[in-house]
Every structure is written in structure tokens, then in C-alpha cells.
């Protein structure tokens, strides 16, 4: 089956090339890599153009990560879908291991694995202790760690563009409620970069509010109609 990978990028010139190379360098490479440049004002687009026909690059007006990911999904042709954040890295055997898991058990619809968090080498020394994670390696039910059958992804519906910081949390909760069958590879599949520009660290108030909104939507969806 064909594998499509979607990346949403915004002002990602520092890390996007390394992220893309980690996809193209897989032991089993994806069939297409789609990068949506979400209105970057730095050199992101120039870096994407440097990959030529090795990737599909599309630029849109800045609309948020959820909108960009949905756009990428609309362009994707694969029967299996993966994701990567513009500042993270896939380990070399990610796709190989997840494809083997999905092949062994046809009932599994989405494969996850472990995530290793690391402080980016470019972070100044005075900030490294603050960014050092309490847990380095953890189970990774994160977007960038998931490989999913397109049919299962579509069954749960598109990502909620009103929740730009927590859209994947909300989607995964909805997908599990609808019966998504998942399994985990017991290997590190993604290296999550921690740096001063991480959205989850710089926009914690927005993330907390959107998590609350996502929970309210999930509770409302479970209530029987009046």
C-alpha cells in the first residue's frame, strides 16, 4: 500500500530540512511527502523548493496547523497516512516497523510507538535545563508517531480547525470513541525536538483552554439527543 506523509510547516527554516530528510531516509521510504507551508515569513519555502520533485510543497495563507494538515490530507494519495512535525525527526526504521505491525494483524487500523524527547543542540546553555524533559522516552500517541489506514482516519472525520493547539488530541478521542483499533511498536519511532519555539511550551494557556473545549465537545457528543 502507498504511504503518504503530511507535514505542516510555519517559519520552520531551522529544522524543516532535517525533518524531511528523516522521512526520505527511511529504510522503507514513503511514496509521497506533502509539506504545507502555512504562510511562513522566513526561508521555509526556499528550503522546500530545494527538495525539488522529492516532495510535494504547497503554500497557503497562514491559517493554523490544523487547517494546513487538513489541506495536506486533501492532496494525499496514499492508503496509509503518516505525519511529522516540521521540527521533529523520524527514526530510520519507523515505517518499516509500523508497516510490519499492520501487515501481521489486519485488524489494526493505526500503529503508534515510542517517542524520545531531546533538547535541540542549538538551544543556548542557559535554557537547556529548563527544557530538559522529566521523561525522555514515553509511549507516543502523538500525530507524528501515528501510521493509519486512510479509511480509518476518514471515518473519524477531519481535524477540528477551531482547536489549532489540540486538534489531534480531540481527533484521537473521537476516533477511539468510534472504535479505532490501535497497537504500539515497542521501539522509538520519533525524536521530538524541544526548543524555545515549541508551540506547546510557548502557548500553554491556549493549549489548556483548547483541551477543555475538546473535552466539552467529546462529552456533548456522548449525550443522547434530547
Decide: helix, strand or coil at residue 193.
strand
**pLDDT value, residue 200:** 54
**pLDDT value, residue 78:** 98
DSSP string for 147-165: EEEHHHHHHT-S--TT-TT
**pLDDT value, residue 31:** 98
- Global pTM reads 0.88
Q: What percent of the chain has pLDDT over 90?
A: 85
- Cα 77 to Cα 74, 151, 178, 186, 216: the distances in Å are 8, 12, 24, 28, 33
Q: Which helix (H) or strand (E) holds 168?
A: helix 167-177
Kindly list the domain boundaries of the chain, sorted by start residue.
3-221
Give the Cα separation of 96 and 166 in Å (integer).
28
**Mean pLDDT of each 10-residue bin along the chain, 226 residues long:** 97 98 98 98 98 97 97 98 98 98 97 96 93 93 97 96 92 95 98 85 44 48 49
Q: Contact 120/89 with Cβ under 8 angstroms?
A: no
Average pLDDT, the chain: 90
**pLDDT value, residue 141:** 94
Sign of CA dihedral 33, 37, 38, 40: positive
Residues 111-161: pLDDT tens digits?
Answer: 999 999 999 999 999 999 999 999 999 999 999 999 999 999 999 999 999
| CA end-to-end distance (rounded Å), the chain | 44
Look up the CATH architecture of domain 3-221: Alpha-Beta Complex (3.90)
Q: Contact 170/214 with Cβ under 8 angstroms?
A: yes
**pLDDT value, residue 179:** 96
**pLDDT value, residue 206:** 46
Query: Alpha helices, DSSP H only, in 7-131?
Result: 16-24, 44-49, 65-75, 94-104, 125-131
Report the candidate in 181, 189, 184 with the shortest Cα–Cα distance to residue 112: 184
**pLDDT value, residue 73:** 98
Which are the contacts of 84, defined by CB distance < 8 A and separation ≥ 6? Answer: 5, 6, 7, 19, 22, 23, 90, 144, 190
**pLDDT value, residue 201:** 46
**pLDDT value, residue 221:** 52
Q: Contact 97/29 with Cβ under 8 angstroms?
A: no
**pLDDT value, residue 165:** 86
Give the Cα separation of 200 and 210 in Å (integer).
12
In Å, how far from its chain's centre is CA 63? Answer: 17
Q: Which three cell numbers stand for residue 183?
A: 497497537
Amino acid at each position: 500500500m502507498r504511504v503518504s506523509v503530511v507535514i505542516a510547516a510555519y517559519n520552520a527554516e531551522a529544522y524543516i530540512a532535517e525533518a524531511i530528510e528523516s522521512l526520505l531516509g527511511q529504510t522503507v521510504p514513503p511514496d509521497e511527502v506533502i509539506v504545507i507551508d502555512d504562510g511562513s515569513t522566513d526561508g521555509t519555502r526556499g528550503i522546500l523548493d530545494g527538495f525539488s520533485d522529492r516532495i510535494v510543497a504547497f503554500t497557503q495563507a497562514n491559517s493554523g496547523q490544523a487547517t494546513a494538515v487538513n489541506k495536506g490530507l486533501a492532496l494525499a494519495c496514499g492508503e496509509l497516512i503518516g505525519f511529522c512535525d516540521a521540527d521533529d525527526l523520524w527514526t530510520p526504521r519507523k515505517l518499516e516497523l509500523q508497516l510490519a505491525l499492520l501487515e501481521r494483524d489486519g485488524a489494526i487500523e493505526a500503529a503508534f510507538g515510542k517517542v524520545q524527547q531531546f533538547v535541540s543542540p542549538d538551544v543556548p546553555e542557559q535554557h537547556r535545563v529548563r527544557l530538559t524533559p522529566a521523561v525522555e522516552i514515553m509511549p507516543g500517541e502523538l500525530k507524528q508517531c501515528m501510521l493509519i489506514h486512510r479509511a480509518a482516519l476518514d471515518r473519524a472525520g477531519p481535524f477540528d480547525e477551531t482547536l489549532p493547539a489540540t486538534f489531534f488530541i480531540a481527533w484521537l478521542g473521537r476516533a477511539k470513541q468510534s472504535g479505532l483499533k490501535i497497537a504500539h511498536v515497542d521501539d522509538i519511532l520519533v525524536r521530538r525536538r524541544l526548543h524555545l519555539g515549541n508551540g506547546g511550551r510557548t502557548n500553554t494557556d491556549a493549549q489548556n483552554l483548547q483541551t477543555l473545549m475538546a473535552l466539552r465537545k467529546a462529552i456533548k457528543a456522548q449525550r443522547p439527543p434530547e
